[in-house]
């Protein structure tokens, strides 16, 4: 207790807490000084433990921690509701997903390369870019752009040197960039 005080502080008040912490600090300093000389007694340990229990049991000023956590949870939940429920789903930009154009002919071993055929799930009359690439050298053997059919006859093309090829078909959107693509490999059967 402070020597100048007439009445002891009320339990749970800030003055009582400060006084308890002062006594604990004084006792701790004394214990540290004595520990250099001898081990603490059981009475000293009990006194320190009691002072620490009283100090930790004091209620801090301001908002309780639970109230702060509850407010933070309400704020996060409100943001999530606003973002995902009230704004509705957003359309993602279209990206080529690959293999959405199925190559029907030629695939695998063939006797001759007579035509290229493919199909798509798109409605209307989409535009296509078609390439035939030599699988060994990666040289473009045939390239046709802006085709609006699902078949390309090869009657007017010399395919006699084609041995192993990769057919690549891109479905074009409103821009020249592909929105769907497909590819297949084919090779000439050995006689």
Per the domain annotation, does 77 fall within a domain?
A: yes
The b/e string for 66-101 (b: 16+ C-beta within 10 A; e otherwise) is eeeeeeeeeeeeeeeeeeeeeeeeeeeeeeeeeeeb
74 and 125 belong to one structural domain: no
Per the domain annotation, does 2 fall within a domain?
A: no
For the cut 60, the answer to whether the pLDDT of residue 65 exceeds it is yes
For the cut 90, the answer to whether the pLDDT of residue 13 exceeds it is no
Residue 10: which pLDDT band, with cuts at 50, 70 and 90?
low
Most confident stretch, 12-21, 36-45, 180-189: 180-189
Residue 12: which pLDDT band, with cuts at 50, 70 and 90?
low
Predicted pLDDT of residue 48: 75
Per the domain annotation, does 3 fall within a domain?
A: no
114 and 178 belong to one structural domain: yes
CA distance 58 to 52: 10
Mean pLDDT of 12-24: 78
81 and 145 belong to one structural domain: no
- Would you give the DSSP letter of residue 181? E
Predicted pLDDT of residue 145: 87
74 and 120 belong to one structural domain: no
| Last residue of one domain, picked from the residues 61, 86, 111 | 86
Is 167 or 42 the better-scoring residue by pLDDT? Answer: 167
Predicted pLDDT of residue 34: 63
Per the domain annotation, does 107 fall within a domain?
A: yes
Per the domain annotation, does 65 fall within a domain?
A: yes
132 and 176 belong to one structural domain: yes
| Last residue of one domain, picked from the residues 86, 118, 141 | 86
Is 157 or 178 the better-scoring residue by pLDDT? Answer: 157
Is 151 or 37 the better-scoring residue by pLDDT? Answer: 151
Predicted pLDDT of residue 173: 76
Domain range enclosing 30: 14-86
Per the domain annotation, does 8 fall within a domain?
A: no
Lowest average pLDDT, out of 8-12, 96-100, 115-119, 159-163, goes to: 96-100
CA distance 51 to 23: 8
| Last residue of one domain, picked from the residues 54, 86, 118 | 86
Contacts of 17 (CB under 8 A, 6+ apart): 55, 58
27 and 67 belong to one structural domain: yes
Predicted pLDDT of residue 133: 93
Mean pLDDT of 117-132: 84
| CATH number of the structural domain spanning residue 171 | 2.60.40.1220
Per the domain annotation, does 51 fall within a domain?
A: yes
147 and 107 belong to one structural domain: yes
The tally of domains found in the chain comes to 2
Q: Give me 153's structure tokens.
A: 């006859």
Backbone angles phi, psi at 58, to 5 degrees: -70, 140
Helix and strand counts by DSSP (H, E) for the chain: 3, 8
């Amino acid at each position: 207790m402070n020597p100048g005080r007439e009445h002891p502080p009320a339990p749970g008040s800030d003055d009582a807490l400060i006084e308890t912490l002062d006594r604990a600090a004084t006792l701790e300093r004394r214990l540290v000084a004595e520990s250099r000389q001898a081990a603490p007694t059981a009475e000293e340990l009990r006194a320190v433990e009691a002072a620490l229990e009283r100090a930790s049991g004091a209620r801090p000023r301001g908002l309780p921690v639970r109230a702060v956590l509850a407010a933070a949870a309400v704020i996060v939940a409100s943001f999530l509701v606003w973002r995902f429920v009230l704004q509705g789903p957003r359309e993602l930009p279209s990206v080529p997903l690959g293999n959405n154009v199925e190559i029907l002919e030629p695939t695998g071993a063939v006797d001759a390369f007579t035509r290229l055929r493919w199909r798509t799930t798109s409605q209307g009359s989409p535009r296509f870019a078609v390439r035939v690439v030599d699988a060994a050298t990666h040289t473009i053997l045939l390239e046709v752009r802006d085709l609006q059919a699902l078949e390309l006859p090869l009657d007017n093309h010399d395919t006699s040197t084609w041995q192993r090829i990769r057919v690549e078909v891109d479905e074009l959107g409103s821009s020249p960039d592909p929105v769907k693509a497909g590819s297949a490999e084919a090779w000439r059967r050995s006689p």
